[in-house]
Every structure is written in C-alpha cells, then in structure tokens.
Structure 1
Amino acid sequence: MPMQKRPFPPDRIQPLLCCPRCLGTLQMPALGQQGTIHCLQCGPVGLVRSGQYLFESLEQTAGESDWLARAKNYAKQRLGRWYPLAIRLLAPVYSPPWAKRFLKTFDLSQQTVADLGSGMTSYRQPVLLVDGAAYPHLDLVCRLEHLPIRNNCLDGLISVAVLEHVPNPQEHVAQMYRVLKPGGRLLCYVPFLQGYHASPDDFQRWTISGLRELFGQFEMLQLRVGAGPTSALVWQLQEWLALTLSLGSRWLYRLLLPLTWLLSPLKYLDILLQHHPEAHRIASALVLEAKKPEHP
C-alpha cells in the first residue's frame, strides 16, 4: 500500500501517543519508517504501516447480519472519500456543518483537535483522524474505549454520529475527558429519533436529559437540536412506506427502500423548523459543545 498524504503532520502524532493498556511510554519506529510499536511495560501493542498508527482495531463482524450495514460497507469501499457527500445528498437527515463551525474556533497550526470515529470523513485542515476501522486515510486506528493518547494533551475533540455505535458509551466519554486538556472543548452529535443503523452495530439513543447525565463531568456550553423534526419524520416515513408496500416480503422491502430516498429533499424544511424552541422534543439528533473544567 503506498504512503497516503494526510493533512495532520506526522511529527505531531508520536508525542501524543501512549500505551492503550497501561498509558505508559512507547517505543516507536523513526518518522517515515514502518515497524512495531512497543510499550516498555506491555510489549508489542501496535505497528506503523504506510504512515498509519495501528493499535487494536474494531471487529467488523457485529453488524454483518444487517443487510443495510453490508451495503454501506460496500458503498464506502466503492465511493471512498465521496461516500460522505453521497450520504449528505441521499440520507433523510439534514444537519448543518457542525464540525466545520467548531473547527473554526481553533488555531489548528498550534492546537490539536481529533475526530474520534471519523470513518470516511476527511478535512483539509490538520485534524487527527481516529477510528476503529482501518480506513486508509486515517492517522490512528484504535478502539475508542482504549485510546492510545496521553492524558491532558488535546485541545479539542469531535464525535459525530459515533456514540450510538459504541456498546459502552460511558467508557468512551471517560476517555474523552481523560485526553482533553483542562479547558479543552468537545463537539458531540448523537441521534434521538432515528431508525436502526448498524455501523457495525447500533446500541442506544439520547434525550437532552440523557446527554446532560452522560457528560456530567463537563461544563455544558451548548446543547441544542442537531437535526430537526422533519429529518426524524422523513426517516420514519421512508421506512414505513417500504414496510407497507413490500407486503411482508423482505426482498421487496430491500428493493423499495432506496426508492423512498426520493423523499429525502423534504429534510431541508429543517433549515427553518430546527430553530423552533420545542424542536428538541421530536428532533432527529442533538448536538452539544462542552468543556473540560479548567481545574478538574
């Protein structure tokens, strides 16, 4: 596999890393070299390959029984970096560019921001891309509940549509708290009223109250609608139509569901409706910005 050019400077990655098991010091290959990553206490814990730092990766078997998850994985392989654009156009959910707005509040030449669970997303700016699946453009591949990142070293974190796919979100949020510097900020986007979507699996949803509880260690800066009520309605309507018109046939349902994507443009009504003061009651998704206390 050829070396892939990545926006995040390679010389800024190694100082951030530690052992995912004991958080101890690592011995790593020189910059530009490939080889095994050793922990002084635990032994071999990862490797560097084609500019990527690989630790324990996510098993992709959990959602393989779900046909839509398999279809998404195939689309990711075929479309590559065009996959996020295809999703924005075809999916029933409209969301403003929360991550891009968040990144504008940082000086990325001096500050370090990581996208945890970035998947096929990429940025022109130097953002550390982290995921459990080894997509070729990523900087760091690891389990999100065992981040190989030192304590108190990141200025910002992004987590977009990730927590619902994590079986133990409390552990993942604890890792976010650990790696952020005091005063560091995070942006987290999670579903509320959305259908099941395995990637590779799907475990939970959150209300505003649930998010306040989950991120209780943080100072809440903003908590609002991330995707509005129309997006929630369109998703449910698409699924309902495919179920109703398929007459109990699983194969006909699978053929009909893509046709219901013709309804997806209705989601843009949320450009107005998501600002309603009561929109959170039936929102498709919620988004929060929070800060690690200056004196935790």
Structure 2
Amino acid sequence: MTEPRTAAADPAADEAVVLRCAGRTVARYEHRPRLAERESPRPYLHPVRTLGGTVVTELRPADHVHHLGVGMAVPDVSGTNFWGGRTFVRGRGPTELDNHGHQRHLAWLRRAEDGFTEELAWERDGVRLLTERRTVDARPLDGTCWALDFTTELVNARDEALSVGSPATNGRPGAGYGGFFWRPPIGPRPPEVFTADAEGEEAVHGSPAPWLAMASDAWTLVFVGADAATRHDPWFVRAAEYPGVGSALAWDRRLPLPPGGTVVRRVVTAVADGRLDRAAAARIAARLTGEETTA
C-alpha cells in the first residue's frame, strides 16, 4: 500500500494542488481552506477552467457564501451541517444553529499534476463522524474539452448508526441537495439545462438521468453518473436563481449508514469551451460512460 504523504515527509504537502491537463492549468484544489465555522469549512476546487481558460466555478458568491466551487457538501449527517449556512428545521424553516461540522484533510495517498487521492475526516467538535477517501483526476477528451473525475468513498467512523439527510427529508419539498455539488458563475442570463429527454430547470430538477448538461454561451458542463449507484441519485439543479448542479444522496428519504457502512459515488464532468447542443453533449456523455459506439 502506498504510504500517505504528510507535511512532515513532504514540505509541499500544505500547498494547494494545481491540476494540469493537456499542458494547461485547469483547476486548483484548496485542501486546507481558511473559512468561517458557519460555512462548514471543507476542501474545494476553484477556480476550475476550460482548456481555453474560462472560469467555470464560483467561490463564496453573495447569494450563498457557503457555495465553494466544486466539492462534497452534505447539509445533514445525523444533525451535523456539512453544507454551511442555515439548517432547515421541520416546522421552523431555515434556522441558524450551532451545528456546523468541517472536513479535515488527513493525508495524501497520491498526489500528481493530473490528480490526487486524499483521506479526510468529517468532524464536529473534535468527534469524527465520517472518514472519506476522495479521488480527483483530470484527463483530456479533445482539443476543447477535458473531464474532471470525482470519486468519494464515505465510511461511518462511529460505532453507532448514522444517516444522511437533506432539507427535503426534513420537510422542504424539492430541496434534496447534498453530495457532489458544482457552483458555476452567474452569467448575463441563466444557463440552459437539459438531459437526453428533458429540457429546462423544472423538467430536469429531481431527475435521475444518466447525464445532465448545463450550457452558457462561454462554456458547457456535462455531468455523468459514472456508476449505477450515482445514476440512481436524482440531480439537484438551479438555473434561474443561480447556477448549480448536484448529485443528491438523500433526495426524498434519509440514507442510512450503519457502523462501518460505506457510500461510494462517482461523477465525471466534461468541461467544454462554448455552448454544446444536446447531440454533442450526448456524444460526450456516451464517451465518459464507455457507451460510445463507432459506425
């Protein structure tokens, strides 16, 4: 087994990871960010860029200061908020609570210019609830497009059962967010969102579609569930109020985690320059899932 790389063994271990793809810098990963407790401090990718250099992530926007580029954020792990901001309480609505947790970087298991694997502790008040192994890789697709491959393996670190919830499971219909989440920047007009079979925020929000695309004039993101469990999770989508796409772990029911229980999810996102139509997005999705056929 590869030995973890720690700060003591590697002076560069505390530096942010810069991801490169096709000879270009495409993302920066902040694994030890300095954030307020209310924002549920956690590692994130920002800025993420197209191969042409266009930024496709937003950090701490005024509308939701706890939105942090690309990462893992869960609003309810047995009552602990790993999302940031207020907590939705049944019968009370969004409520300020002293219940924020944080994700703490433990060690690098692999670190290279095109990707990394790290171990993280999800903690609250010094108590570890979850241990995560996170793997992120960047790979080229063609001259105008690359893919960010994001895999998370969450393990219940307690000797008691835990569960993952969302505002929806706590009484707010349609707000099943929590899990992998990507916050793009706001543009001059809302981006288009579509799947293979549906178009528009209302139609695709809550859909367990194999892939989903969000497109602006400057960039297109094609999100693909890369395994059966991830494809089963509905997509959480915002476009009109702000752009955001997430893969929901607890859309309408809590996700149980027995002691030692593990949840694995993998989302691969194609990052393309310019606006892609449905046919082009579908071809990329097929390529990412290995379902591409040749004539």
Shorter chain as denominator, the TM-score bin is 0.3 to 0.5
User: Which has more strand, going by share of residues?
Assistant: 2
Q: TM-score, normalised by structure 1?
A: 0.32
User: Which has more helix, going by share of residues?
Assistant: 1
Q: TM-score, normalised by structure 2?
A: 0.32
**Rg larger for:** 1
